[in-house]
Amino acid sequence: MTLALEWAAKGLYTTSPNPHIGCVIVRDGQVIGAGVTQQAGGDHAEIQALKAAQARGHDVRGATAYVTLEPCNHFGRTPPCSDALVHAGLGRVVAAMEDPNPLVAGQGLAKLRAAGIETSTGLLAEQAYELNIGFFSRMTRGLPWVRMKTAASLDGMTALHNGTSQWITGPEARADGHAWRARACAILTGIGTVKADDPQLTVRAVETPRQPRRIVVDSKLEISLDAKILEGGGTWIVAAVADPDKEAALREAGAEVILLPNAAGKVDLPELMRELGRRQINELHVEAGGKLNGSLIREGCVDELLLYLAPSLIGDAQGMFALPALTDLSLQRRLKFHEVKQIGADLRILARFTHL
């Protein structure tokens, strides 16, 4: 199963909106086939593993398949993997977890058992869950898993008051941040960041076969048509105020405008998360300024913080999150450390809100 998870990780940047799945077929203690789910519409991991075994002349009848998620049992872009495993004559299937997709949800394993194939689940389930945390979030909550990334000094400052922020953290941390960008389905920022920095918000520091969708929260449609984030097309601009002329110009530039106003005339952030779930966004990577960061946290839209802390002190400057002052410590927002790791000279902290 460890090997199957390694195969699943090969699809970290490619399989969305499908989950990242690996499969390893074993006979007499020998791996005879392995595979990873391909891009949407391509073979799933089980089919890849069966093809690999057969191409090498191995008989898979009676063999054991280790797969990081329950084999699917429904027709989507591809036929059910459970049918393929039955037809191949597998003797045993070990799945790390049941599939949270209501179209599967135990039915794939049930079909295997009905065909006389021994099944089990739970092996390395936690690792399999972490690999597909966004897929599980979308299937169970209808929401993407929202990861907010920021880089700061040890005193929590992200930029000087004049906006200078390059570079607080080192090159290793910046490359690591791009790897987290690459695994996300979409990257979200705000109009303030676009105006101040004119970022591309593309993955550049690591190799990736596809770029995540770029999303800008821009209540009044203030974005310049020359903004770098519009280059290449496909950017979603989320607004609260209709402007037919600007919307037409943005569409001409290859962008899509999504109107989601709340009662205060701002973008309805919780509704935006639900809309992204409907649009099959599994993992949302947020790289924004303190104002939007604070709004997303206040609205309960963030699941996890990805913090890079540099061993430096900046003093009075711009902070990570624009949050209101508390009158009582009992009101503080609680998180739990999920992982702490040194990346180059900097510290990477993954911290999850405890309401999850």
Enzyme catalytic residues = 46
Cα(207)–Cα(40) distance, rounded to whole angstroms? 19
Cα(39)–Cα(69) distance, rounded to whole angstroms? 16
Cα(141)–Cα(173) distance, rounded to whole angstroms? 31
Across the strands, what pairs with 347? 309, 342
Cα(168)–Cα(272) distance, rounded to whole angstroms? 31
Task: Show the CA angle centred on residue 320, arms to residues 269 and 303, nearest 5°.
Answer: 45
Cα(22)–Cα(8) distance, rounded to whole angstroms? 4
User: What residue has token string 């209101």?
Assistant: 324
Go through 8-17 and write b for each residue having 16 or more CB atoms within 10 A of its CB, e for each that does not.
Answer: bbbbbbbbbe
What is the maximum alpha-carbon separation in the chain?
A: 70
DSSP, res 267:
B
DSSP, res 339:
E
Q: For strand 335-343 and strand 346-353, is the pairing parallel, antiparallel, or unpaired? A: antiparallel
Across the strands, what pairs with 216? 189, 237
Picking from 280, 307, 285, the residue whose alpha carbon sits closest to that of residue 296 is 285
CA atoms within 13 A on the CB side of 215: 27
DSSP, res 99:
-
User: What residue has token string 């902070």?
Assistant: 319
DSSP, res 334:
P
Handedness of CA 230, 41, 182, 285 (dihedral sign): positive
Peptide bond into 324 cis (omega under 30): no
